[in-house]
Chains A and B, each alone.
Chain A
Amino acid sequence: MFLFLLASAFFLFVILSVLPYFRGVGVWIDRRLPIFSFLLEHLTYYPAPKNLNMWYAFGALAMVACVIQFISGIWLVMYYTPTADQAFSSVQLIMREVPYGWLVRYVHSTGVSMWFIVVYFHIFRGLLYGSYKTPRELLWMSGVVLLFLLMAEAYTGYVLPWGQMSFWASKVIISLFSSIPVVGNDIVVWLQGDYEVSGVTLHRFFAFHVVGFSFLILAMIFLHIIMLHSVGSNNPDGIDIMKHKDRNGWPLDAVPYYPYFVMKYIPIILFYLLVFFIIVFYAPTFYGLFLEAENFERANPLVTPLHIKPSWYLSPYYAILRSIPDKSLGALMMLLSILLWLFLPWLDLSPVRSMRYRGWMSRVALATVVGSFVLLGYLGLQPAVGWYLVMSRVATVLYFSFFVLIPIVSYYDHDHVVPERIPER
C-alpha cells in the first residue's frame, strides 16, 4: 500500500515535470480544435460574481444528474427489451441476473426523481433572484423548454418498465391529445401506432426516450449554457457586474470560476451523491414515491388500477388537469401552467431583480405560486374526491393568479434601493 502510494506520487511527479515540454503539442491541437481555449474561457476564466451562493450549485447539480442518467441509461439499454411480452421480465432480468444490474436500475430510477428535485430548486433560484429578467429572457425561455423536454423524457421513460401504472398513466396522458380539436384523434392513433396503447406504443416510446428527447435535451442544455455564458451569471443581489470593469475588461465584482467556485461546488456535488446513494442503497422505492407499488405488477389492459396517479414530479400538473371538470379545458390549463412561464420576463415589470431588494408584495406573490405548486403536487397524488378536489381547485386558482398578479404587484411594489456594487458581507 505504501509502495503503491510512493510509486504513484513518483509517476505524478515525473508526468508533471515533463508536461511543460509538451506545451507545443497542446498549442498545435488548440489551433486546429480549440478545446483548451474553450475550457479556459468557459470554465477556468469564466467571470463568476463573487457572491454566488449555494442556490447556484443546482445548475451544476442538474448537469451531474444528466450525466448520471445518460451513463446508467446506456447500461440499461444493453439488457432491456422493448416488447410488450418481454419488457417487464427484462427489467427483472436486470434486477436479478445481471451483475450489479440492480445498482444501475436503481441509480436510473432514483436519478430521475433527484434530477427533478434539483431542477425545481434551480427554477426557484431563478425566481428568487430574478434571473429571468433582462438580458436573460432567452436563457429563461430555453430553461422552460428544457423543463418541458425533461418531463417528456421522464414520461416516455416511465412507460418502459411496462407495469400497471406505466400502462394506465400512458393511456391517460395520450388520451389528452384527443382533446385537440379536429386532428386530436388522429394524433392519438399516430402516437400510439395502434388503436390502443400496446406493444407498438411501448416500442416507439422507447425510441423517443433513448434517442428522441434525450438528444434534444443535450442540445438544449448546450444552448442554455452558451446563452448563460454570453450574458453572464446573475447573482443573489441581482446587480449587473458588467457595469464596473477594470482596465483589462475584467468585472471588478467577479472571480474566475476556477478554482474558487469549482472548489466550492465539489463538496456540494459530493453531498448530492451522498443523499443519492443513501436512497439507492437503503430506500430505492422511497416509500412508493420514486418507484410506485402498482408498477411492480405486469401491465394488464383488462384490469384498471384503483387510483391512476402520475409520478410525483408530474403530479402538480395532473392536479390542475383533474381540478377542471372539462377535459379539453383541463388539458389546456395544464399546458398553460408550464407555457405561461415563458412570458414571465415580460410580465414582471419591476426594475429590481433580486428578492433581496423587492418589497413585500413580490415576496407574497412568489410564496403563493411556490406554495400552491407544492400543494398541487401533494394533491395530485391523492384521489380527487371530497376536500382534496376542493383544495386542488383553490390551489389551481392561486397558482394561475400569480401570472395575473405579478404585473400589478411588481409595478406597485415598494422596492429598496439596489447598490451599484456587490456589498461586502
Chain B
Amino acid sequence: MIMIMLSQSEFRSVNLLLFLMIACLPVFSFAVGDALVELDSVKVDLSDKQRILRGGQHFQQSCLSCHSLGDFVNDPVAKELGLTKQQMPVWPEDSWNGHPPPDLSLIALSMSPDWLYTYLRTYYVDRSRPTGFNNLVYPNTNMPNPFVDMQGRQVLINPNYFDRHAGHHEQFWYRIIKLKETGRLSPADFDEYVDDIVLFLTYVSDPSIHIRRQIGPWVLGYLLLFISVTYAYFKLMGRFYFKPPPPHR
C-alpha cells in the first residue's frame, strides 16, 4: 500500500519535473570562462634549491616593494634570503582605491603556477588604463607592469581578440600581443627570470613539499613490504583453510 502511494507521488513529481524541463529549454545562457587565453605550462622543479633561492632574490628585487609573504617569514629559506617581517609592506584596507596588493603566501595554490607564469608575461600597452598597461590573462588588472625595464613593451597586434562573439577567445597569447621594444633582458632570459619567481612562489605556497618528498618513499615502501607479507600470509593460510573436514567417525 505504502509502496503504491509512494510510486504514485513519484510519478506526479516526475511529471512536474518533465514539465519544468520542457518549460526551461529556451532559457538562454552565456558561457563564462576564467582564463581568456591558453596558459603556458611551466615546469616546476622544486628539488632545485639554488633556483628557489635565486627566485627569492628576484622576488625581493621585483615584488617585495608592494607584496608581503606574511606566512613565510619563519621558513628556513626565508631566513637564508634574509626576508623579515620588517621588510614587508603593510597596506591599509582603503589604499590603492580599496584594492591593496595582496599577500602572496598562497598565490601559487589559489592561482596555478601556469597562471602566474603566463600572467606575469602578458602585459601589453593600453593607454586607456591608468597604469598604461593591460593584461591578457587578468584583463583590467590593477597591478602596474613590474617588468617594463626588463621585458620591454608588448603591443596588441590582434584587436579582434576582444570581439569575443567572432570566436577569437581562448587563443595563444603570442598571437595577440608582440614585443615591440626589448628591455634590459633578452626574451629567453626574461622568461627564466619569471620562471624563477614562479618556482619560488610555488615553494612558498607549500614548503612541506621537501619533507614530503623525503619521507614519502619510506612510508610507501614500508606499506608495500607490509602488504606483501600480509598477503603472502593470507594466501598460505587460505591454502589449507577451506580443506574439507576429516570424515566423521
- Name A's B-contacting residues (CB within 8 A): 50, 89, 92, 95-97, 102-103, 106, 255, 259-260, 263-264, 266-267, 270-271, 273-274, 277-278, 280-282, 284-285, 293-294, 296-297, 306-307, 324-326, 329, 333, 336, 343, 346-347, 349, 383-386, 389-390, 393, 396-397, 400-401, 403-404, 407
- Which chain B positions have C-beta within 8 A of A89? 71
User: When chains A and B are docked, how far (Å) is the Cα of A391 from the Cα of B224?
Assistant: 42
A282, B110: Cβ atoms closer than 8 Å: no
Q: Given A281-B213, A400-B10, do A96 and B234 touch, yes or no (CB 8 Å)?
A: no
Counting chain B CB atoms within 10 Å of each CB, the highest count among A264, A267, A346, A383 belongs to: A267
- Identity of the chain B residue whose Cβ is nearest the Cβ of A274 in the assembled complex: B223
**Chain B, Cβ-Cβ closest to A293:** B110
- B106 x A296 contact (CB < 8 A): yes
**Mask for B207-231, Cβ within 8 A of A = 1, else 0?**
1100111011001100110110011
The reply on B57 being an interface residue by CB < 8 A is no
Interface of B is mostly: helix
Task: Judge if B188 is at the interface, Cβ distance under 8 Å.
Answer: no
Which chain B residues lie closer than 8 Å to A102 at the CB level? 206, 208, 211-212
Q: Is the CB of B71 within 8 A of A347?
A: no
Listed A/B pairs (26) with beta-carbon separation below 8 Å? A97-B74, A102-B206, A102-B211, A106-B208, A263-B230, A263-B237, A270-B226, A271-B227, A274-B220, A277-B219, A281-B213, A282-B212, A293-B110, A296-B109, A324-B20, A325-B20, A329-B16, A346-B2, A347-B3, A383-B31, A385-B30, A385-B32, A397-B18, A401-B14, A403-B6, A407-B7
Chain A residue contacts of B230, Cβ below 8 A: 263, 266-267, 270
- The answer to whether A407 and B3 have CB atoms under 8 Å apart is yes
A-B contact count (CB 8 A): 132
Chain A, interface SS category: helix
- Report the contact-size class of chain B (Cβ under 8 Å from the partner): 35 or more
Tell me if B192 counts as interface (CB < 8 A to partner A).
Answer: no
8 Å CB contact of A293 from B75, B111, B223: B111
- Bound state CA distance, A61 and B106, in angstroms? 33
Instruction: Establish whether residues B14 and A404, one from each chain, have CB atoms under 8 Å apart when the complex forms.
Output: yes
Q: B75, A96: Cβ atoms under 8 Å?
A: yes
Contacting pair B237 A385 (CB below 8 A): no
A267 vs B236: C-alpha distance when bound (angstroms)? 14
Q: B75–A267 contact, CB under 8 A? A: no
B residues 7-58 touching A (CB-CB < 8 Å): 7, 10-11, 13-14, 16-18, 20-21, 23-25, 27, 29-32, 34
Question: How far is A324 from B18 in the complex, measured between Cα atoms in Å?
Answer: 10
Query: Which one of B74, B223, B231 lies within 8 Å of A273 (CB-CB)?
Result: B223
Taking a contact as CB atoms under 8 Å apart, the answer to whether B216 and A281 are in contact is yes
Q: Are B223 and A400 in touch, CB under 8 angstroms?
A: no
Question: Given A270-B227, A285-B109, is A277 in contact with B220 using a C-beta cutoff of 8 Å?
Answer: yes
Q: Are A95 and B219 in contact (CB-based, < 8 A)? A: no
Which residue of B is nearest A271, CB measured? B227
Q: Which A residues are CB-close (under 8 A) to B111?
A: 293
B71, A92: Cβ atoms under 8 Å? yes
The answer to whether B238 has its CB under 8 Å from any CB of chain A is yes
Which B residues touch A285, using CB under 8 A?
A: 109
Alpha-carbon distance A331/B2, docked complex (angstroms) = 24
CB–CB B24/A325 < 8 A: yes
| Nearest CB on B from A247, distance (A) | 11
Q: Is B135 an interface residue (CB 8 A)?
A: no
Contact across chains for B21 and A404 when beta carbons are under 8 A apart: no
For the complex with contacts A284-B206, A306-B32, A389-B29, 12 further pairs of A-B residues with Cβ separation under 8 Å are A274-B223, A274-B227, A277-B216, A277-B219, A297-B110, A325-B27, A333-B13, A384-B29, A389-B27, A401-B14, A403-B10, A407-B3
> Of B17, B219, B237, B241, which is within 8 A of A400 by CB?
B17
Give the chain B neighbours of A347 by CB distance below 8 A: 3, 6-7
Is there an interface contact between A386 and B212, defined as CB atoms closer than 8 Å?
Answer: no
Known: A260-B237, A270-B230, A404-B14. A278 touches B220 (CB 8 A): yes
Please indicate the chain B residues that have their CB under 8 angstroms from the CB of A349 in the complex.
3
Which residues does chain B contribute within 8 Å of A271, judged by CB atoms? 227
**Contact at B212–A281, with CB atoms within 8 Å?**
yes
Residues of B near A92 (CB, < 8 A) are 71, 105-106
Q: Say yes or no: A326 contacts B7, CB within 8 Å.
A: no
A349 and B13 alpha carbons, distance in the complex (Å): 22
Inter-chain CA distance A301–B232, complex, in Å, is 56
